[in-house]
Amino acid sequence: MMPDHTIGLIGIGLLGTAMAERLRHSGTQVLGYDIVDTRCHELGSSGGRVAQSAAEVAEECPFVLLSLPHSGSVCEVVAELPIKKMRNHTIIDTTTGDPATSAQLAESLESSGIGYVDATVAGSSEQARRGDIVIMAGGKPEIVEKSRWLLDRLAENVFEIGPAGSGARMKLVVNLVLGLNRAVLAEGISLAERCGLDTNMALEVLKAGAAYSAVMDTKGEKMVKGDFSPQARLAQHLKDVDLILQLADQSKLPAPLSETHRLLLQKAVKHGYGDADNSAVIRAYRDA
């Protein structure tokens, strides 16, 4: 029997909105808050409840999902929460953030009787809406187990990676490979276009052979058509690549491909595609 809790949600961006929809479709009530009024309005219009503050969410809900832009935002939100009223609550942080910060937060919150799981997500907002995502959970085994019913409502696959911070590290590994797959696809499609090949045909051939990757299904058509309506924003992935390179440096691993990828993303942002879908990395080639 799964608990019948209203789930708190702080951060109603692309991923937060998709998770809220997923939960509501499973019959789970959502109480959400975001500093952007229009996002709160959208949640209310689609059947969720809206709080007036992050503190109100945390006071009412024993399980609180965070879906925020970066670790700095997570720390700011946690600082606003009524910690003394949250004993035995659990915070599930889906933010792609700094692993060291996640580990520090877990330790700090544990001293107040609050559980913390860094439950990072592999998959776009559209995939999250369908539940077709992977969650990589870092935290104490008993806290992850306590949260498992909720994680299973959000994702088809949940991996318990290790202590708090492990989920964040795994997400950076995933995003390294995923981002480079997108960049390689963008370069291949751009070469096909420049040398006079039909890009739709090129994509079809790539999907049929050994070069295939799942990125071709999610981003190939968007690249070919120039449809950059955001499922995940390019500037957010640039932030992730900065974290990837930071982790690589800490781990004493050269990462030349990620260094080049960062330059491509910086170029796309310079051309005005920061808020576009991360398939817009192709514009670093087309606008060369």
pLDDT in tens, 156-199: 999 999 999 999 999 999 999 999 999 999 999 999 999 999 99
Nearest to 58 by CA among 95, 109, 18: 109
pLDDT of residue 172: 98
CA angle 253, 255, 120 (to 5 degrees): 85
DSSP 278: G
Q: Tell me if 54 sits within 8 A of 85, measured CB to CB.
A: no
- Domain chopping of the chain, boundaries: 7-163, 170-286
Record the pTM.
0.92
The domain made up of 170-286 has a fold known as N-(1-d-carboxylethyl)-l-norvaline Dehydrogenase; domain 2 (1.10.1040)
What does the pLDDT look like over 54-83, one tens digit per residue? 999 999 999 999 999 999 999 999 999 999
pLDDT of residue 288: 58
Q: How far apart are CA 194 and CA 125, in angstroms?
A: 32
- Kindly tell me if the per-residue pLDDT of 246 is higher than 50: yes
> Number of C-alpha atoms within 13 angstroms, CB side, residue 235?
10
Q: How far apart are CA 188 and CA 199, in angstroms?
A: 9
- Kindly tell me if the per-residue pLDDT of 94 is higher than 50: yes
pLDDT of residue 286: 80
Q: Tell me if 162 sits within 8 A of 184, measured CB to CB.
A: no
Architecture field, domain 7-163: 3-Layer(aba) Sandwich (3.40)
Report the SS3 class of residue 279.
helix
Q: How far apart are CA 10 and CA 54, in angstroms?
A: 6
How far out from the chain centre does Cα 45 lie? 24
- Kindly tell me if the per-residue pLDDT of 1 is higher than 50: no
